[in-house]
Chain A
């Protein structure tokens, strides 16, 4: 599989290499401003692409690299340099109303290679588009709108990646559409895809952990249980206020039968999320946030380590403090930013004592980011977080600095 992907990428890059003979053939479709009618659901297409001449094929991508020095309760792993992801986009317009886009991610220098998105979109009407292939389930906003260069923080929000499983992709089909009337926009998405499996309550994390299902690459080949996962989202945007989205993802997660034999009762997973983003007009302060609730039918006799409810989210506040030409970069921006995040992997109380079950984490991440252009960001973060075990014992204190770059290319 990896070989095929590499071969495909080499072929794709050879096409662009030939085109580089005459650089005027390239059409740079990138823009420093996002379409005013773009919503979170458009994130996969709201990216800069290079287009070679009249070719319908566009390519793009982004890279993230960082340095960090983190420590926990006086113990540190020292200085670490990472390349958490290098992502390539390949898209094409086969017809004015038919589009294809793929997103292939190389994580940690190629340790993991994943096709996060590879879907064909057919536009029937603005409010009716068919999407099929590997799609990113629209639960919350971060799962779809996760490109590194869009964020002022080195790490992704923990609630969205360690409670929700961003980036969470599956094979499936569905519909989406949106409509703007004056300042108001409305969008919807609904998909049926393959979904989760037993690993969400049987994993090395020792907790209910939705991202464990990402380890199962076979979900791109077949459903683990023959039950579709439903993901649906409604979003409303006001050009002057911002966007709010309500989303749901749910279905049977376990393999309750195999080869015609019943192995367990059917167990459901339900996830609700609300996301919002807004830019305050007077101060140009950008606020982005997301909160999600997870409910999992965990066998009562399996142990309280595996919570049947989880919740968590984050809010990012980004304040531009300087917009000017800096070091030759027109429209460079210096931002102050702060992220607050919280996750509770096990909401509930112990049956034996009635005391709260902890297994939670909170973090505050102040930072400075410098954007020489809208598509490139240099960021300096200080992360401080506390994580409690299931019993609520004295928390592990974790902090350190993170310096990173991320850019579309």
Chain B
């Protein structure tokens, strides 16, 4: 009898200790710097609540034919293209087409974006024969609020359209005509009714509401009061996503934290940073910015390190797809932020798919695809010793 009591005591004692040692049972959280998702520090309770709502809408909400998906579309949810808020995979690349000259409107039916998927019973859109197009892998969406908080004046400080400083680099802002729902803020400086685009690979969207409403519409085939035209019929239909959800997603994107550099004091990484500057990579991939006062306290007066100047640059004929958006030439691309670069494989299925269309499968390959204004930097890279190259790659992987 005593034996059984002992058994029972063992059983329940074990259960008891398991219950009180719960924290040790659950898997450890990955280090903060190894994750792209998560809110920027310093949000109020109210802001965290809205961040959470946006997080759910962005990562968990999946559209179906019943909830407005399509009929033609590219993806069923935001999270499908931006897993873990990181860069996307070639399987969710989208195709933009129809504009071959800057500052012109697309004239081809179905432009500017191909909806290459369709709900059952419908046919997806097909790219017209012979039309130039750009394939684009989805970008990471972290730290966008910090970029959005920069003033036009700050961006224009780095512009050098005529290369007056003679360094061979002539970044130009992308001026685009904003949609009707765009409300200018104090920091915007319009030029002939157009505003500086900051987001998108050709910098063709002016703010995160523009980016988000357009993505719902052109990527998921969902209409909103902001973008009422159904991409399938081209006609206005009832809104399929609420204003509140769109605004929650915008808030989420604004308040996602900036990627955190890993091991910044590692000697190899520090050496790689020196090489980065020596090669003049930082002329376009501007390391440091500081925000000014903005509507979200957590984003105000913050120094951050995105490694972009948000300007368009001539990247040479190798990256000229013959198609464009906004005021960008076909060979011009907005400098992509490099923050989070080393974490790209964690959202791209364990591999790198870099450059605008994912054609580069390593950082080195991506560097070697640079041309145009970056030709000089690329040539210098090729002349580096293997140790210097390795240090530079390690630095870029640490971002």
Interface residues in chain A, defined as those with a beta carbon under 8 Å from any beta carbon in chain B: 67, 69-76, 79, 198-199, 201-206, 254, 263-264, 267, 299, 301-305, 322, 324-327, 334, 350-353, 355, 358, 368, 370, 380, 382, 389, 391-394, 397-401, 403
Contact = CB atoms under 8 A, between A and B. Distances in A.
Given A74-B29, A399-B25, A400-B26, 12 more contacts: A76-B22, A299-B118, A299-B120, A303-B75, A352-B91, A353-B90, A370-B11, A380-B11, A391-B347, A392-B350, A393-B346, A393-B348
Interface string B1-33: 000110110010011001100100111111000
A74 B124 contact: no
A268 B351 CA distance: 35
A254 B27 CA distance: 41
B77 A206 contact: yes
A73 B350 contact: no
B80 interface: yes
Among the interface residues B4, B15, B75, which one has the most CB atoms of the partner chain A within 10 A?
B4
Given A202-B119, A204-B64, A380 B25 contact: no
Contacts of A204: 61-62, 64
A90 B121 CA distance: 44
B120 A254 contact: yes
A73 B121 contact: no
A399 B62 contact: no
B273 interface: no
B15 A403 contact: yes
Ordered nearest first, which 10 A-B pairs have the shortest CB separation? A74-B29, A71-B26, A391-B349, A264-B121, A397-B27, A352-B90, A202-B64, A206-B62, A69-B22, A326-B4
Contacts of A70: 26
A64 B82 CA distance: 39
Given A74-B30, A299-B118, A203 B64 contact: yes
B229 interface: no
A399 B27 contact: yes
Given A355-B349, A401-B19, A327 B26 contact: no
A305 B11 contact: no
A35 B377 CA distance: 80
Given A352-B90, A393-B346, A327 B8 contact: yes
Contact of A394 (B4, B90, B346): B346
- Greatest chain B CB density within 10 A among A263, A299, A370, A398 is at A299
A351 B62 contact: no
A206 B76 contact: yes
B123 A301 contact: yes
A304 B91 CA distance: 8
28 contacts: A72-B27, A74-B29, A198-B120, A204-B61, A205-B62, A206-B80, A263-B121, A302-B117, A302-B118, A303-B76, A303-B117, A305-B75, A322-B7, A326-B8, A327-B5, A334-B7, A350-B90, A351-B91, A352-B89, A380-B11, A380-B15, A389-B83, A391-B349, A393-B346, A393-B350, A394-B30, A399-B26, A403-B15
